[in-house]
Amino acid sequence: MSISNQLKNQHLLWRAAFGPMAENVNELADISQKELYKVLEKTSSKKPVELNVATNTFDGFMKGLQDLGQMQKLNRDQKKQLRKQSVEDLKNLNLTWLGEMINSEAQLREKMSLFWHGHFACRVINIYFQQQLLNVIRENALGNFGDLLRQVSKSPAMLSFLNNQQNKKQHPNENFAREVMELFTMGRGTYTETDIREAARAYTGWGFNLKGEFVNRSFLHDTGSKTFLGKTGNFDGDDIIDIILDQKATAKFITGKIYKYFVNDNIDEQKVEHLAEKFYRDNYDLQKLMNEIFLSDWFYQEKNIGTRIKSPVELIAGVRRLIPMELQKPEAQLLFQRVLGQILFYPPNVAGWPGGKNWIDSSALMFRMRLPQILTNAEEFLITPKDDDDVMMGKEGIDKNAKANQLQVIVDWNSVVKVFDQTSRENLFGRVNDTVLQTKNSINPNVLKRYVDNTSREGFIKSTIIELMSTPEYQLC
């Protein structure tokens, strides 16, 4: 089967970005993948503008405190208030970043950032810390993996989440060392329990202050000799990261995960091996690795197209990119995320979202298929979101009493309908289908016929898009 140029371009846009936009659908027929990728690369080359959504209320609280010691002096109510404000601000950060994924021209950068957000999964209720970690990720998403790893490892968010603030010479806490190796760099089976204990000793003393700055508390650091991955010395945390980066296992693990996320859930060992070798030789240059993938021929093979299950955030962003709309109650998107199992800044655990088929259970699939209707204002909805104390360490999550009924949405259908101005009536269904779905087969047109609006051309286009989005096929990209 031959794969159309447009399908290949949409494939690139679904994987390296958050899907095609109505406004540029018509340009996708002729441009080459190489040219299109160049645009993606260029629009993501600038340093991103830092997101800053912490409210004055939170700022005010924090400025009154000079160090962690003073935190103890806050009374119960003040602490609770601080926390509550943080939870509120985190919602704002969520929606602001989601907005970037939908609207920013730096699509490749934001897509990579979403990948790293799941890779360096971190769940702490502190708007400063989360915001800073996100900005580190967005800034380094296409840079050097070593820099990214080091900055993430030294971020208060991660040090706090993985308990390194409590990792002291007299009482080592291994959580940080273990997860850095198991989940962030080398993967299981490439080190021993002894290596973890030794690395934990090297990380003793790494901590942070209330301003959100990394501090190396040397009085808590174990200065003794450590033996880590066959090397012996008086290592500190930076030495451990250097040694981890020396391991080819690290390049292999990261490349494998990137391949699974951006190319195909089923790993092609040979390709990953080749990519990992080059990634290692290029000193962990992420931009080069992504160029290698998206400029290859094999990325556009049939087996890689329309076979990946979209994550909930990709699903929401994808609908909103194709159909321009303005939500009067954007916070409803937090409920969607929760019901579908992916709330930004609230990963299930340090391993991040497992992805793939794990996104799909009965109730999640049913909600996914209703989402396009809800988003385009055609349907009322009632969600009772799940209580969220799983791996929250007893912490407060998103407001579970929030309810939304009908979304107030202004949909710019004109931009969408305009896309098909040059398409004849008999080709209309096919064109709309090929714009919305990435899968080889579509749903039975005879069934669809009964559900679409045939009273006008505009109504036909709108209803066909919505019905096509409300299918199992649309879950794939």
Partner 1 sequence: MLFKRKEFLQIGSLASASLMMPKFLKAFEKKAVVPPGNKVMVVLQFSGGNDGLNTVIPIRNDIYYKSRPKLGIEKQQALQITDEAGLNPALPFFKDLFDEGSLGIMNNVGYPNPDHSHFRSMDIWQSASDSNEYVTSGWLGRYLDAQCDGCGKPTQALEIDDVLSLALKGENLKGLALRDPKKLYSSSNERYFKEINASHDHEEAAVDYLYKTLSETLESADYIYSQSRRHPSSQMYPPTQLGKNLKTICSLILSDINTKVYYVSLGSFDTHVNQENQQKRLFTELNDAISAFVKDLKSNNRFGDVAIMTFSEFGRRVAQNASGGTDHGTANNMFFIGGGLKQKGLLNPMCDLNDLNEGDLKFTVDFKSVYATMLHNWLGADDEKILGKKYEIMSFV
Residue list 274-313, contact with partner 1 (CB under 8 A)? 306-309
**Least distance (Å) from partner 1 to the CB of residue 402?**
16
User: Which letter does DSSP use for residue 398 in this model?
Assistant: S
Backbone angles phi, psi at 309, to 5 degrees: -80, 125
By residue count, the chain amounts to: 477
387 in contact with partner 1 (CB under 8 A): yes
**Least distance (Å) from partner 1 to the CB of residue 380?**
6
**Least distance (Å) from partner 1 to the CB of residue 138?**
26
Least Cα distance to 124 among 95, 165, 96 occurs for 165
What are 207's strand-pairing partners?
215
401 in contact with partner 1 (CB under 8 A): no
Q: Which of 56, 357, 401, 422 forms a contact with partner 1 (CB under 8 A)?
A: 357
459 in contact with partner 1 (CB under 8 A): yes
**Least distance (Å) from partner 1 to the CB of residue 200?**
10
Residues 168-207 contacting partner 1, CB under 8 A: 168, 170-171, 173-175, 178-179, 182-183, 188, 193
Q: Count CB-CB contacts under 10 A for residue 180.
A: 27
Q: Which of 216, 380, 408, 427 forms a contact with partner 1 (CB under 8 A)?
A: 380
Q: What does the alpha-carbon distance between residue 269 and residue 275 come to, in Å, rounded to a whole number?
A: 10
**Least distance (Å) from partner 1 to the CB of residue 408?**
15
Residue whose CB is less far from partner 1, 20 or 348:
348
Residues 324-353 contacting partner 1, CB under 8 A: 339, 341, 349-351
Count the residues of the shown chain that bind partner 1, applying the rule CB under 8 A. 73
370 in contact with partner 1 (CB under 8 A): yes
Residue whose CB is less far from partner 1, 246 or 380:
380
Residue whose CB is less far from partner 1, 270 or 455:
455
**Least distance (Å) from partner 1 to the CB of residue 360?**
6
Q: What does the alpha-carbon distance between residue 465 and residue 321 come to, in Å, rounded to a whole number?
A: 13
In single-letter form, the type of residue at position 138 comes to: R
Residues 55-94 contacting partner 1, CB under 8 A: none
Least Cα distance to 142 among 228, 53, 37, 244 occurs for 37
Candidate segments 19-27, 36-44, 278-286, 373-381, binder of partner 1 by CB under 8 A: 373-381
Backbone angles phi, psi at 476, to 5 degrees: -105, 150
Q: What does the alpha-carbon distance between residue 106 and residue 116 come to, in Å, rounded to a whole number?
A: 15
Q: Count CB-CB contacts under 10 A for residue 225.
A: 11
Residue whose CB is less far from partner 1, 64 or 472:
472
43 in contact with partner 1 (CB under 8 A): no
472 in contact with partner 1 (CB under 8 A): yes
Residues 232, 194: contact at Cβ < 8 Å?
no
Q: Residues 141, 308, 91, CA angle at the centre, nearest 5°?
A: 50
Residue 449 structure tokens? 């016929």
Q: Which of 209, 373, 415, 423 forms a contact with partner 1 (CB under 8 A)?
A: 373
CA distances 460 to 3, 412, 466, Å, are 26, 16, 10
